[in-house]
Amino acid sequence: MATSRIEETEMGPIKTTKLVPIVHIKAAKNPIFFPAILVALQAIFIVLLGIHADYGHEPLPVAHIGPPGAVVRSTITYPNGTIVHAEYEEPTAPAHRGIADFYSMFQDIHVMIFIGFGFLMTFLKKYGFSAVGYNFLVAAFVLEWALIVRGYMFDYDTNTDSFPIDVERIIVADFVAAAVLISFGAVLGKTNATQLIIMAFIEVLLQSANEFLGLRRFCAFDIGESMFVHVFGAYFGIAVSYMLYDKELTSIEAEQREKSVYHSDLFAMIGTIFLFCFWPSFNAGVAASGDPRLRAIVNTYISIASSVLLTYILSSLLNKEKKFDMVHVQNATLAGGVAVGTVADKIIFPFGAMIIGSIAGSLSTIGFRFIKPALQKFRAHDTCGVNNLHGMPGLLAGIFGIILAIFPTYSRHTDNLLGTCWDGNERSSLAQVGYQAATLGATIAIAVIGGIITGIILRLPVFNDEHPSSYYNDSPHWETPDDFYHDVTTPLLTTSTEHHL
C-alpha cells in the first residue's frame, strides 16, 4: 500500500501543499503474535472464570424479608467502598439494589465506553478505523480482565472459593475500561494492537491495585472515579507516551497525518455529545440510592453544562480571530464532569457545582491552547490531550475533595469508612483530609511509575512496529477501502484561498 510525501507547488499567487504517494508501507511486524497472545489470554480467562467466578444474586422482594411491622436493619457495602446503614419498618423496607436499580445506569455508561470514547478519538483524518476499532477491542478485553482482577482483589470469598459477578460489578469493570481508554487517547496513533493489549493487561492490574488502596485502606471518597479513573488513566498514558516518543512524530509527514479534516471532526463531535449526555450516569452509577445519587446527578448536570459555556467563552477569547476551536469544543466542554466527580454525591450545592464546572472548562481550554504544545517540547506527546480533559480536571477534583473533607457536615466522609480502613471506621475530618491527599498522591505516583515501566516493555522489538509510516495511519494494520487515499492529491492548504477568506 502506498504511503506519501509532502510536495509544495506554486502556480502564480497560489501555493498548494499536497500528499503524494511514493512507497509501499511494510506490513505489521510479527502478524501472528497478536492473535497468539490474545488466544492465550482468552484461554487463561476462561479457566479462571470457570474455577472461581459465579453469578451474583438478585435481592429478594421486600415481602420476603420479614413480617409486616418488623424493623429491618441493614448495612450495605458497595464495590466502590460506600457504606449505607439503613433501618426501615415493613412493608416499606426497600430491597438491596439489583438490576432494577442499576441497569439503566449501566446502559448509559456502556454507551459512553463504546460510542463516546470511540468516536471522540476519530478526529485524525487517516486513523478512524483504528480509533473506533481499537477502542472496541481494548474495551472488550478490559471488561473481561477487570472482572477477574477485581473479583480476586475486592470480592473473593474464601468460604465459597469464588467471587460474584452482577450488574454493579460490570459497571465497575466499565470504569476500569474508561481508565485504559483514557490512556489509549494519549498514545493514539503511535501503537499497534499488540502493544495496546499488553498495555491494557498491565494497567488493569495497577489501576485496580491503586483503587483497592484508595477505597479499602485510605477509604477516600471518589464516587465519580475522578482520581481512580481520570487521573490514573491520563498520567499512566502520558508516561507510556513519553517512553514511546520517536523523533519521527515531529516530521512533516507525521504532523500532516495528525491533523483532522471536516468530516473527522464531525464524527468526533458524536462522541462528545454522547459523553456529555450520559456523564451524570457515570458519576452517579454506583452512588448510594436516595439523596446521594440525586446529588450526584444534579451536581454533574450543572457542572458539565457550566464547563460547556466557559469553553466557548475561552475558545473565542484565546483565538486571534475570535473564532471557536473545534478541539476545545470536542474536549474541554466535558471537563466539568471530570472535575466534579470526586465530590459529586456530596453536599456542594448547585452554585458550587457551577463554580467547579466553570473552573474546569476554563482550565481545560487553556490547557489545550498553551499547555499541550509546551508538554510536547519535553517529549510528552499527548495525541488526544488527555492531560487537559482528564488529568488536570481530575487533579482539580482531587483538590476539591481534600477541601471538602475539612467540613464533615458536607463531605459525610464517614459513609465511606470500612473496618478495613487504616485508622479504623471512626476518623476525624483532619485525618480524612490527609487520606484524600494521600490517595491523590499515590494515584499519580503509581500511574507515572507504572506507565514508564509499561512504556519500556512496549518499546521491545517484539512488540514495536519500528516504521514511522504507521503513525496515525490505518493502512499498516487495517484493510482500507479504495478511497482511503482518494484525497492524496487534494490540496491541504491553498494560500490564496485562505487569504481571500
In a domain, 432, yes or no: yes
10 dihedral zone (left: phi>0; alpha: psi -120 to 50; beta): beta
Write out the residue range of the structural domain in which residue 289 sits: 104-459
The per-residue pLDDT string of the chain (501 residues; one tens digit each, 9 = 90 and over) reads 444 445 455 555 555 555 544 344 445 556 678 999 999 999 999 999 999 999 998 876 544 445 555 555 555 555 555 555 555 454 444 444 688 889 999 999 999 999 999 999 999 999 999 999 999 999 999 999 999 999 999 999 999 999 999 999 999 999 999 999 999 999 999 999 999 999 999 999 999 999 999 999 999 999 999 999 999 999 999 999 999 998 888 888 888 889 999 999 999 999 999 999 999 999 999 998 899 999 999 999 999 999 999 999 999 999 999 999 999 999 999 999 999 999 999 999 999 999 999 999 999 999 999 999 999 889 999 999 999 999 999 999 999 999 999 999 999 998 888 888 988 778 899 999 999 999 999 999 999 999 999 999 999 988 887 566 779 999 888 999 988 876 544 444 444 433 444
Which cell is 3 given? 504511503
In a domain, 56, yes or no: no
Type of residue found at 418: L
Please tell me the total count of domains within the chain.
1
Which cell is 336 given? 466539568
In a domain, 359, yes or no: yes
In a domain, 484, yes or no: no
In a domain, 291, yes or no: yes
Instruction: Please report, for the domain that includes residue 388, its CATH number.
Output: 1.10.3430.10
Residue where the block lists cell 465519580? 224
Q: How far apart are CA 49 and CA 478, in angstroms?
A: 32
Q: How far apart are CA 445 and CA 31, in angstroms?
A: 35
| Distance, CA of 25 to chain centre | 32
Sheet containing strand 2-11, edge to edge, reads: 2-11, 14-24, 493-494
Three-state DSSP class for 74? strand
In a domain, 154, yes or no: yes
Q: How far apart are CA 191 and CA 279, in angstroms?
A: 28
In a domain, 334, yes or no: yes
In a domain, 183, yes or no: yes
Task: Please name which of 402, 403, 430, 316 lies closest in space to residue 365, comparing C-alpha atoms.
Answer: 316
- Sign of torsion, CA 471 472 478 484? negative
Put simply, whether the predicted model's pTM sits higher than 0.85 gets the answer yes
Q: How far is CA 354 from CA 301, 302, 351, 392, 407, in A?
A: 9, 6, 5, 17, 19
DSSP 8: E
